[in-house]
Amino acid sequence: MHVIDSHTGGEPTRVILDGGPDLGSGPLTERAKKLATEHKAFYQSVVLEPRGQVAMVCALLVEPVDPDCVTGVIYFDAEAVLGMCGHGTIGLAVTLMHMGKIGLGPHKIETPAGVVTVDVKDANTVTVTNIESRRVESGVAVEIEGLGTVTGDIAYGGNWFYIVDSSPVPVTPAHIPELTQAAIQVREALNAKEERIDHVIFYGPALSENGHSRNFVLCPDDAYDRSPCGTGSSARLACLAAAGQLSEGEEIIQESVIGSTYRLSYTAGPKGGVIPSISGQAWVMAESKLIFAETDPFRAGITL
Ligand code: PYC
């Protein structure tokens, strides 16, 4: 299995070029469902240690249905198949550029959440125009032991997010273990009522002079996003727009918990949401061939 690894603002993406399971040629939503329900062992073997690593998101390349797209892609982490992935799409565009498959300028990519556009500015810099994103509920309160009442918005940006504007824990690298624990508690409390939330985001003040805010993003596999999270930033843009806190075309700089940044803005969407624009940078780190030896006791990954 040939793979190319990159990172976007510190968050790794492994693009799988060949050797994935046959998912058929139906709509990407159906192929993603098939991957999730019938091939968990395959996707965990690629992403889990020792072959992968805890923060990694994989991008399985598939034939697109839409002939205008340069590729189709299905993203997954160790726990879940994702509808879309912003950092992964920036990493994928930089990888396709590195391979000589695309050049500078705009290209369409098909994901299970819909068709997105990447505008490749240089070898490392990409702007993603995501699918229409929307706030679905605001002021949703949950009681969390040790934290008290936590209030946030539920929003969709290609994945489902619960977004807390004023983090119950300081959003700094030193607090990552507590942030992780608090976000897991929040996700479990919310999903005890209704299984919908796959990511939780806590927002705090920016640490840089030009930053709008800094975020901590908990992913489905309980790893935190090293990047500011493209789909999470899309959901957040929808919330800011719905609350009248950000105008169409206004640009903000979003910091991740480790200090990497995206430039974000939106235009109004046709269905009342927002069309997010996410600009970030990725670097290719490795081109490898993964080997799955029959005699390797951990060929399926370490599952504890
Ligand atoms: O950038 O959308 C994103 C993302 C989702 C999970 C990790 N990164």
Residue 60 has what pLDDT?
98
Is the pLDDT confidence value at 55 over 80? yes
Residue 26 has what pLDDT?
96
Residue 304 has what pLDDT?
80
3-state DSSP helix/strand/coil % of the chain, to nearest 5: 20, 40, 40
Question: Sorting pLDDT into bands at 50, 70 and 90, what band is 303?
Answer: confident
Taking residues 63-75, report their average pLDDT: 98
Query: Is 85 among the catalytic positions?
Result: yes
Q: Is 188 in a helix, a strand, or coil?
A: helix
Is the pLDDT confidence value at 100 over 90? yes
Taking residues 16-36, report their average pLDDT: 96
Statement to judge: residues 273 and 143 lie in one domain: yes
Residue 194 has what pLDDT?
73
Taking residues 75-102, report their average pLDDT: 97
Token pair listed for 26: 């139906």
Residue 271 has what pLDDT?
97
Token pair listed for 65: 């249905």
pLDDT-above-70 percentage for the chain: 100
Residue 193 has what pLDDT?
82
Token pair listed for 247: 């105008």
Tell me which residue range forms the domain holding 90: 2-126+285-289
Query: Is 58 among the catalytic positions?
Result: no
Distance 208 CA to ligand 1 centre (A): 22
Distance 158 CA to ligand 1 centre (A): 9
Statement to judge: residues 104 and 25 lie in one domain: yes
Residue 66: partners with Cβ closer than 8 Å, 6 or more residues away: 108, 110, 115
Kindly report the pTM of this predicted structure. 0.97
| In-domain check, residue 265 | yes
CA distances from residue 114 to 64, 65, 209, 242, 256 in whole angstroms, order as listed: 11, 11, 35, 22, 25
Q: Is 266 in a helix, a strand, or coil?
A: strand
Residue 174: partners with Cβ closer than 8 Å, 6 or more residues away: none
Q: Which of 14, 217, 224 most suits a substitution to test ligand 1, by most atoms within 8 Å of the C-beta?
A: 217
| CATH code (residue 80) | 3.10.310.10
Statement to judge: residues 116 and 145 lie in one domain: no
Q: Is 43 in a helix, a strand, or coil?
A: helix
